[in-house]
Amino acid sequence: MKSRIHHLILGGLVTMALTAVVAYYASSPQWRDMPEDTALLRLSFTHSGDRSATCRDRTAEELAKLPPNMRAKQICDRRRPPIYVELAVDGKTIYTVEQPPSGLAGSGPSRIYERLLLPIGNHSVTVRMRDNPATDGFDFVETRQIDLKAEQSFVIDFRTASGFTFH
């Protein structure tokens, strides 16, 4: 009995010390995930490459072979073309990518998700995208002056109808 009291006291102190160490490391020490005086710019969107360049009209014979409810006039490749994206900050291109379509058959949209750390302050940001390989230049271009604060999360998104949006 005496030794059990001894174990309860000493074992209890050791258990408490170990639990306190575990509790400390459950929230400390702090971790800095990004440098000071920087902001995070994320360029993220999904967009399907324009496959119209691969489309052609079906001939009358081809249409006649199809059931009446499936007689679409045009036939296109299932696979979509890649999209090409550029991001320039203060006139300097810092990110370029030719993003292939997603999916096993390449029929899904191209996905863009890029994290870029920028110093705080004023910047001129230009984002450009070409979604049809048959065209020259860019199909979508947007330039914006932004004032980044420390630890700010700045997002560039895209909607086909409205183009690039800045959040």
Partner 1 sequence: MNALRAAFRRGFDRFERVFDPLFGPDWNPLGNLGQLGWYLFWIVTLTGVYLFIFFDTGVTDAYASLQWISGDLWWHAGLTRSLHRYASDLLIVVMLIHILREWVYDRYRGHRWFSWVTGVPILWFVYMSGITGYWLVWDKLAQYVATTTTEFLDALPFFAEPIARNFLTPEMLSSRFFTLMVFLHIAIPLLMLLMMWIHLQRITQAQTRPPRGLSILTLVALVVVSYVYPAQSQAPADLATVPAVIGLDWIILGLYPLLNILPAGVIWTSVLAITILMFGIPWLPPRKENPAAVVDLDNCNGCTRCVADCPYTAITMVARTDDAPFRREALVDPDRCVSCGICMGACPSSMPFRSDENLITGIDLPHRSLNDLRTEVNAIGALPKDGSGGRVLTFACEHGSGNQPAEGRISVACIGQIPPSMLDYVLSRDIADGIALAGCSERDCQHRLGVEITKARIARERDPYLRKRVPRERLLTVWAGPSERGKLPGRIAEFSDKLKAMGPFEKKSKKGHKLPLPTTDAPGETVKPNQEVGE
Which positions lie near partner 1, rule CB under 8 A?
A: 3-4, 7-8, 10-12, 14-16, 18-20, 22-34, 36, 39-40, 42, 44, 46, 102-103, 108-109, 111, 113, 115, 150-153, 155, 157, 167
Q: Report the chain's terminal Cα–Cα distance, integer Å.
A: 69
Q: Which residue type is seen at 11?
A: G
CB of residue 3 to partner 1, shortest distance in Å: 7
Residues 134, 145: Cα–Cα separation, whole Å: 31
Residues 76, 154: Cα–Cα separation, whole Å: 37
CB of residue 64 to partner 1, shortest distance in Å: 36
Supply 162's token pair. Answer: 């409205």
CB of residue 152 to partner 1, shortest distance in Å: 6
| 3-state secondary structure string across 67-83 | CHHHCCCEECCCCCCCE
CB of residue 98 to partner 1, shortest distance in Å: 17
Query: Of the two residues 15 and 124, which places its CB atom closer to partner 1 in the complex?
Result: 15
Q: Scanning the structure block, which residue is given the tokens 């490749």?
A: 77
Query: Of the two residues 56 and 159, which places its CB atom closer to partner 1 in the complex?
Result: 159
